[in-house]
Each structure stands twice: as C-alpha cells, then as structure tokens.
C-alpha cells in the first residue's frame, strides 16, 4: 500500500479514455496538462477579449490556475486528474481541485452534509 497503490486504484477506463491522478514527476502527463491549459487560456483570451482586451495568454494561465503546473501539483491538498486517450496515451483534458479540511478535521467537500453553506472544493 502507499501512494502508488492509491494512484493505481484511482485510474479508470471510460469509453476509450484513462482517467488518472496527475503525478508531478510524470513529465509527459504534466506536459499534456500544460498543453490543455494553453489551449484553454487561448480560448478564454478569445472569448473575453471584449471585456479584458489587455489580458494576455500568460495572464490567463495564471487566472485559470497557476503559472507553474509542476509546483501547483506539489501543493498540499491539490488533486489534478487528467484524461488520456486509450489509443494514443495523449492527454486530452484535465480537472483540478483543492481538498481542504476545516478546524474540526472534517473534509470540506460537503458530500455528507445537506447544508447549503458548506464550502465546496475549489475546482478549475
């Protein structure tokens, strides 16, 4: 048991895609997530150009997460999942979230709470 066993148990196959926890030391996966982030930043820059005309792609990268994905992945409580094509192994998408614990030690994802004011994970 340990991080590798946990990571392996989180890997899922779904309609030709593998969903995996992104390892900050997996250079190919990190590069793939970075490529997806770049495309997302370009799309945001185009979509919101009329509202934020001076915002450049690098600024959108920061607004959409962190400037340095590898350091972000090493941050406490950060989980990034990426999808790989089952046929090519290429990273085709990702989702990230921050898992927090409140002062009582309860996780803050609100999964077992019906309170509407329970904080949710920060997702991007």
* Residue 32: per-residue pLDDT: 96
Q: Which of 62, 60, 84, 65 is nearest to 75 (CA)?
A: 65
The pLDDT assigned to 61 comes to 83
Nearest CA to 62 among 44, 50, 78?
44
Per the CB < 8 A criterion, the answer to whether 97 and 122 are in contact is yes
At 62 the pLDDT is: 82
Tokens describing residue 48: 């919101």
pLDDT beyond 60 at 108? no
Radius of gyration of the chain (CA): 16
Least reliable range by pLDDT among 24-33, 68-77, 101-110, 112-121: 112-121
Q: For 58-81, how does the pLDDT look when each residue is reduced to its tens digit (9 = 90+)?
A: 888 888 876 688 888 888 889 999
pLDDT for residue 12 is more than 70: no
- The answer to whether residue 51 scores a pLDDT higher than 50 is yes
């Amino acid at each position: 048991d340990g991080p590798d066993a946990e990571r392996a148990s989180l890997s899922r196959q779904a309609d030709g895609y593998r969903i995996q926890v992104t390892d900050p030391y997996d250079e190919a996966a990190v590069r793939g997530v970075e490529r997806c982030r770049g495309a997302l930043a370009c799309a945001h820059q185009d979509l919101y150009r009329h509202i934020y005309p001076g915002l450049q792609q690098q600024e959108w990268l920061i607004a959409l997460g962190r400037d340095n994905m590898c350091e972000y992945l090493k941050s406490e409580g950060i989980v990034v999942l990426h999808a790989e094509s089952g046929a090519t192994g290429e990273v085709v998408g990702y989702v990230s979230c921050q898992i927090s614990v409140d002062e009582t030690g309860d996780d803050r994802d609100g999964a077992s709470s019906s309170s509407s004011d329970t904080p949710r994970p920060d997702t991007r």
